[in-house]
Structure 1
């Protein structure tokens, strides 16, 4: 195994620790997905890394991320975020994992 590949694999396994240190919730995998499959998809260039998706998200949606899910919907991997905005609203934002395109923004009921 090449040195580059070993370093890359080490970094992938450290990402959850970095996310925890940044105060991010852990990612919930849906529809039979697992973290290994998600990492492999990032390595193959099929989806963007969580860091890249977070950069896209934070540009337009400030606030505290309270939940992150990675779901498979109609054959498309989608990151779903619940964000508590600075004004106290809970928003659900869906972002296509492959492109970073925002698919849906929905304000959750506060009930």
Structure 2
């Protein structure tokens, strides 16, 4: 019976390590969400709804993806759009003011839509 204990404890430790490794990305995503929520509450970041309303007026198109991240000490919204004619646009906006920082366009290739 004493030989079984090391195998069981090793299996338990390995299972625990695996669970921690699998849970790490989820915990990180939760931390990111909390950081973003605190930034909105503190007025460091404009709520997404306001950003999208402004975006629709100034850069119309279908929103494909939105990311909120820290870039050089400030919060930045990175938004990907699909505009008329199949043009894809990637915008970087100051998250506090929704002012445009950068715009990259990708025009569809011939036959692509």
What range describes the TM-score normalised by the shorter chain of this pair? 0.5 to 0.7
Moved over 2 A (4+): 108-111
TM-score (norm 2): 0.64
Specify the alignment match of 2:16 in structure 1: none
The CA RMSD measured in Å over matched residues stands at 1.9
Unaligned runs of 5+ in 2: 1-30
Q: Where in structure 2 are the equivalents of 1:25-104 lying within 5 Å?
A: 34-104=32-102
Contact 2:44 2:75 in 1 (8 A): no
Task: Give the secondary-structure state (helix, strand or coil) at the position aligned to 2:86.
Answer: coil
Shift of 1:110: 4.6
- The 1:109/1:71 distance shift into structure 2, 3 A limit, reads farther
Give the match's secondary structure for 1:34.
Answer: helix
Highest CA radius of gyration, 1 or 2?
A: 2
TM-score norm. by structure 1 comes to: 0.65
Aligned length: 80
| 5+ long unaligned stretches in structure 1 | 1-32
Higher relative contact order (CA 8 A, sep 6+): 1
> Which of the pair is proportionally richer in helix?
2
Q: Deviations over 1:70-98 (max 9, x none)?
A: 12111111001110002110000111001
Q: Quote how far apart the aligned CAs of 1:108 are.
A: 2.8
